[in-house]
């Protein structure tokens, strides 16, 4: 596929490019859907602009693959998605902000009601109209963010005077420790969710995020809502990641220079050359989502890039617009001025970069490419 309309300039005017393979997103969704055995619906979380990969393009590809239910975070994301997916079911996870019920109804968006105040506002709306408007109800099973307490949930859903004509289209909760399946919190949340929703088991239920899908059918219930796995990310720590990469970041080499032994590299003079080095400076930095924390010092290594199968360690601090790479041991013809370097992609996993930056691949993916040329197509 060709570059989308947001690329206003010729390719040569960009310092780098972000390639996104929406077909790979679809393959990842099918992989997860196949694990369900036909007993649950596989939805998709495409909040934060589909984890940085482009909500509209990804939404269309997933719908074509068979996905029919989508989760975003805020109403604006939901309305934008509705414009390209008129027949999809769309939930907004962050719930019912004051004064937003009109747009929800106008655009057929389903809020995930996460507090008594939100539930009371929505049921009041249903009572006034004499009908049930679709919405999910979130019960907190231990993460202590959004969601009714188990006591509030049981009391409210068991009170006809409270609920009126409203019948939730989905009952849901969210795992706190899914990335570590052995954590006792997972089983505790599963048992609590099963118990508190048991009186309403005739209603669709949802607990599993990406990690929950991979943890097995106990967690699947009626709807699963994977996110990071769709985008090739690492849902479960310290295990093989079965997902296909969907994004590749490449930055162009601006200059190649020699650094004498004993000289320092970058802001703060934190990395000292232990030998004569040959450095390549590439046109990407923390303004492009290459997190500053992945830089190196004399005490700790930083992240790395890949050049034609050769690892190029990051040297010194990552600055706003530039990263310095050690290319001393890479053939000179591969590091010419203007050449592209893979900063993240099939050979540089976002999870690996995240480990150097003391974060998670979610942060990398959702921060990428503000100034890059954006191209949709295979990661070749």
Is residue 126 within 8 A of residue 132, CB to CB? The reply is yes
Q: Which residues contact 372 (CB under 8 A, 6 or more apart)?
A: 14, 15, 16, 17, 18, 249, 284, 288
**Maximum distance among all Cα pairs of the chain, rounded to whole angstroms:** 78
Q: Which residues pair with 281 in a beta bridge?
A: 255, 324
Q: Which residues are catalytic?
A: 47, 267
Is residue 229 within 8 A of residue 213, CB to CB? The reply is yes
What does the angle CA 347 – CA 351 – CA 354 come to, to the nearest 5 degrees? 115
Short-list 209, 170, 169, CA closest to 189:
209
Short-list 232, 235, 229, CA closest to 244:
232
Collapsing DSSP to helix, strand or coil, 277 comes out as strand
- Give the HSE-up count for residue 101: Cα atoms under 13 Å, Cβ half-sphere: 17
């Amino acid at each position: 596929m060709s570059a989308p309309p947001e690329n206003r300039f010729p390719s040569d005017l960009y310092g780098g490019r972000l390639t996104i393979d929406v077909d790979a997103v679809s393959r990842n969704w099918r992989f997860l859907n196949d694990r369900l055995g036909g007993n649950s619906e596989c939805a998709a979380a495409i909040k934060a602009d589909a984890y940085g990969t482009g909500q509209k393009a990804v939404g269309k590809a997933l719908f074509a693959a068979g996905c029919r239910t989508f989760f975003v975070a805020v109403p604006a994301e939901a309305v934008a998605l509705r414009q390209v997916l008129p027949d999809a079911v769309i939930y907004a996870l962050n719930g019912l902000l004051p004064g937003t019920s009109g747009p929800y109804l106008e655009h057929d968006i389903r809020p995930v009601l996460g507090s008594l105040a939100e539930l009371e506002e929505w049921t009041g709306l249903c009572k006034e109209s004499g009908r049930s408007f679709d919405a999910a109800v979130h019960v907190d099973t231990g993460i202590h963010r959004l969601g009714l307490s188990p006591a509030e949930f049981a009391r409210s859903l068991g009170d006809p005077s409270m609920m009126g004509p409203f019948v939730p289209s989905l009952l849901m909760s969210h795992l706190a420790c899914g990335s570590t399946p052995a954590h006792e919190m997972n089983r505790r949340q599963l048992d609590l969710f099963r118990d508190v929703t048991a009186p309403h088991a005739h209603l669709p239920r949802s607990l599993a995020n990406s990690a929950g899908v991979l943890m097995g059918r106990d967690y699947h219930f009626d709807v699963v809502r994977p996110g990071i796995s769709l985008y090739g990310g690492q849902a479960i720590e310290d295990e093989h990641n079965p997902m296909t990469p969907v994004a590749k970041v490449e930055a162009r080499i601006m200059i190649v220079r020699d650094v004498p032994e004993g000289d320092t590299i970058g802001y703060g003079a934190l990395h000292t050359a232990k030998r004569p080095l040959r450095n390549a400076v590439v046109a990407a930095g923390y303004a492009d989502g290459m997190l500053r924390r992945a830089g190196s010092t004399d005490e700790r290594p930083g992240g790395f890039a890949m050049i034609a199968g050769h690892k190029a360690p990051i040297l010194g601090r990552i600055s706003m617009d530039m990263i310095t790479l050690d290319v001393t041991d890479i053939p000179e013809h591969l590091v010419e001025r203007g050449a592209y370097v893979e900063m993240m992609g099939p050979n540089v996993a976002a999870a690996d970069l995240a480990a150097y930056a003391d974060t998670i691949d979610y942060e990398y993916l959702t921060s990428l490419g503000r100034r890059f040329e954006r191209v949709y197509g295979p990661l070749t």
